[in-house]
Amino acid sequence: MKAIIAVNNLGFIGKGNTLLWHNKEDLKHFKKLTDGGILLVGYNTFSELPVLPNRGLIIDTRGEYKFDVDWCIGGKKTYEKYCHIFTELHISHIDNNQIGDVTFPDLTNLNPDCKIFNYQY
């Protein structure tokens, strides 16, 4: 499974289960990468997601998922729970200094073979 996440200059990924920013280029990037895929998402993040056309959503539960999933799209606890099986991690660094209530996940258990891709927006 691949993962995609956006983080701002202060290390925040969200506030109130939503993004702190609206960055058109990053949203285009997210759409391009995840289009046609099956996305794993935590319940809180799912509750605030807009409609994502041409993508299937699986809401994470307390157990392990039992479906073929292409992308993990958050939130923080979902990234932390599954980082040990990520094959790719796509990180968008957003030039933004807003203070949120959710920080970048603890990925100390990240799959050591995971390829990391960084993008600047």
Q: What is the pLDDT of residues 91-101, one digit of tens each?
A: 999 999 999 99
Mean pLDDT of 100-121: 98
| pLDDT surpassing 80 at residue 27 | yes
- What is each CA distance from 50 to 27, 46, 63, 102, 113, in whole angstroms? 12, 9, 25, 19, 32
72-87: per-residue pLDDT in tens? 999 999 999 999 999 9
Q: What is the pTM of this model?
A: 0.94
Q: How far apart are CA 96 and CA 21, in angstroms?
A: 7
Tokens linked to 104: 């970048």
What is the CATH number assigned to the segment(s) 2-120?
3.40.430.10
Tens of pLDDT along 28-71?
999 999 999 999 999 999 988 999 999 999 999 877 777 799 99
Please say whether the beta carbons of 11 and 103 come within 8 A: yes
With contact defined as beta carbons under 8 Å apart, do 46 and 57 qualify? yes
What is the band of 110 on the pLDDT scale with cuts at 50, 70, 90?
very high
Give pLDDT, residue 64.
73
Q: What is the DSSP letter of 74?
A: -
Residue 52, amino acid:
L
CA distance from start to end of the chain: 24
